[in-house]
Amino acid sequence: MIDIFPIVRPFLYALSPETAHNVALRALSCDLLPPQKLVVHPELSQNIFGLNFKNPIGLAAGFDKNAAAVNPLLRQGFAFVEAGTVTPLAQDGNPKPRMFRLSEDRAIINRLGFNNKGLEYYIKNFSKRDKSIGITGANIGKNKDSESASDDYVKGLNAVYPYADYITINISSPNTKGLRDLQQREALSQLLTEIMKARDQAKQQHNKNVPILLKIAPDIDETQRADIAENVIKHDVDGLIISNTTISRPTSLRSEYKNETGGLSGAPLLELSTPVISEIYKLTSGKIPIIGVGGVSSAEDAYAKIRAGASLVQIYSALIYQGFKLVRDINDNLPKLLARDGFSHISEAMGTL
């Protein structure tokens, strides 16, 4: 397989991070990037949420907010791609510059603010996906000026339900004012009541069951983690995505952009997000499948998420520094790590930390 990333990286790095992202997304949507081979190892294949994942590596939300390049992204070797976050109405997001490349730290800070073209445009794109290539999830959020968060999430759920393999409720971005307040015990219970009610109605209407996942922040204390675990069990949420970006700033950061406002992602997030997976895996007795995300840039990092309790793993920021070849590298090396530790299947390694 040809890896063109080392060739195009100098050009991309000469651009601002957001411009470089848009160029890459445009190239993908025009099928200008050569596809990567889908890695299939029997010991990595799983059925999670009633869906067959050929490998455990997916693309996190945020890369393709408008579902403009779902099929080309799936051809980069991902078992699944999550498109969004999409809000009911189009919105520009926060003022620019709002994305910063912390190269010395292999990290990114963004304060994009759910910039997207709205549900109508999103569905037009999403509905064209090729279901035979891989699994695609829809990540939904609320508009920044919305008076009712639950109304926005219900609108999003109803719009994407006929097309998505799973739906993620994003209540953890730090860049929409008040959004993370929805993680609080009572607010979350009320929101999940409305969402699961809408899901039950959509299930009957479309005669299909679409799993509902909840994406949470890493910046939550022990009480909040316990409350979230209790709520997802109480409301029969199908899965969790742990975690979104962090508003904390490790003292090890070296980049000149380290104090920019926004969510920090990339390598420094690994040590913060992985313990949250482990704790919530234990709080839910391993009964709620978890997608681990945050700081994964190697097979060893992905394996750490799995050992902590994740069934699947998503990546994003590391692609900015390593390109799509990383997907194949992780999937090719995970079986070696499993064999090293005496596991014959990925499911045996989950939650064994």
Q: What is the pLDDT of residue 211?
A: 98
Percent of all residues in the chain with a pLDDT value above 90, rounded to a whole number: 94
pLDDT band at 353 (very low <50, low <70, confident <90, very high): confident
Q: Average pLDDT of the chain?
A: 96
Residue 343 forms part of a structural domain: no
Query: Which CA distances in Å does 173 have to 18, 35, 183, 220, 279?
Result: 18, 31, 11, 13, 21
Nearest-5° Cα angle at 328, 349 to 313 = 40
Which among 140, 109, 118 is positioned nearest to 245, based on CA atoms?
A: 109
Tell which wins on pLDDT, 298 or 38: 298
Q: Is the pLDDT of residue 320 over 90?
A: yes
Q: What is the pLDDT of residue 37?
A: 84
Residue 287 forms part of a structural domain: yes
286: left (phi over 0), alpha (psi -120 to 50) or beta: left
Residue 163 forms part of a structural domain: yes
Spatial distance between the Cα atoms of 259 and 315, rounded to a whole number of angstroms: 23
Residue 16 forms part of a structural domain: yes
pTM over 0.85: yes
- State the pairing for strand pair 290-293/239-242: parallel
Can you give the residue range of the structural domain that contains 317? Answer: 5-334
Mean local confidence (pLDDT), 304-314: 98
Percent of all residues in the chain with a pLDDT value above 70, rounded to a whole number: 100
At 212-227, the pLDDT tens digits run 999 999 999 999 999 9
Q: Is the pLDDT of residue 2 over 80?
A: no
Mean local confidence (pLDDT), 177-188: 92
Residue 347 forms part of a structural domain: no
Q: What is the pLDDT of residue 39?
A: 84
Number of domains in the chain: 1
Q: What is the pLDDT of residue 1?
A: 61
Phi, psi of 124 (to 5 degrees): -55, -40
pLDDT band at 4 (very low <50, low <70, confident <90, very high): confident
Residue 341 forms part of a structural domain: no
- Identify the H or E element spanning 150: helix 149-160
Which active-site residues does the annotation give? 173
Q: Is the pLDDT of residue 140 over 70?
A: yes
- Cα 11 from chain centre: 27
- Cα 168 from chain centre: 9
Q: Is the pLDDT of residue 64 over 90?
A: yes
Q: What is the pLDDT of residue 15?
A: 96
Mean local confidence (pLDDT), 185-199: 96
CATH number of 281's domain: 3.20.20.70
pLDDT band at 3 (very low <50, low <70, confident <90, very high): confident
Token pair for residue 202? 């959509």
Mean local confidence (pLDDT), 162-174: 96
Phi, psi of 52 (to 5 degrees): -95, 110
Using alpha carbons only, how large is the chain's radius of gyration in Å? 19
Q: Is the pLDDT of residue 90 over 80?
A: yes
Q: Is the pLDDT of residue 80 over 70?
A: yes
